[in-house]
Amino acid sequence: KGATLLVININPQATTRSGTRALVRTFKKLCADSVSVKERHFCRVSLNSLVSAPPDAIVIGPQGVPFDAYDPAAKAHLFDLLRALTGPALAVCGGHQALALAHGSTVAPVFGGHASGSYDGLQKELGFRSITHSANDPILCGVPKNAQMNVSHIEEVKELPDGFELLGTGDPCHIQLMKSHTDAVYGCQFHPEKGGDGASLLRAFLSLANLSLR
């Protein structure tokens, strides 16, 4: 049996796939042919299957609307899935924010204002930023201490959720990389699939998940 990496689309609509598909394309380039890279919408992932027969690694993709725009039952299901993750798992951008929310933290716009229902009129943080780390963690193996990472987000995680440690910081968004105290479950605010030093982090993630690289 070959290994499987599952990329989960967390957008409310399954047809909103651009962010998830970018991750799928990147992982297909990085992974050996023996690794099956699959995409699935979160509403089609059952909590039971995630716990009883998890894939070898999970990546939680970004999202394009504020979390209060979600159907309450769907959002509750998403948060249940995120709380059930035991790793290896990497939550990217909006996935990172959802992971923090599921564990009791708060998310709000980087530059002020309030995202209620939509992001209309709110300033986006966009482009390459310096992400600093001094942690001795497997996901940072080969990643420069001052890494250049691509960011594209309006909101940010405002405080570290309980049970997580801070691995990487930036400015103006401080919480850029976090990890669960108990599992190999990571959240990154930046987009490692969009160039810079991101590929180094993704390779390190695949290595810690024991997934073969090209």
Annotated catalytic residue, options 96, 103, 133, 191: 191
- Quick one: tokens of 61? 């993709």
Among residues 31, 39, 41, 93, the one annotated as catalytic is 93
SS3 state of residue 138 = helix
Q: What is the C-alpha separation between 7 and 23, in angstroms, rounded?
A: 7
Q: How far apart are the first and last CA of the chain?
A: 18
Active site residue 141: no
The answer to whether residue 191 is catalytic is yes
Q: Backbone dihedral region of 57: left (phi > 0), alpha (psi from -120 to 50 degrees) or beta?
A: beta
C-alpha span between 93 and 192 (Å, rounded) = 9
Euclidean distance between CA atoms 66 and 64, whole angstroms: 7
The token duo for 143 is 């990643």
Residues 181, 191 contacting (CB under 8 angstroms): no
Answer yes or no: 93 catalytic: yes
Tell me which H or E stretch contains 124: none
Tell me which residues are annotated as active site: 93, 191, 193
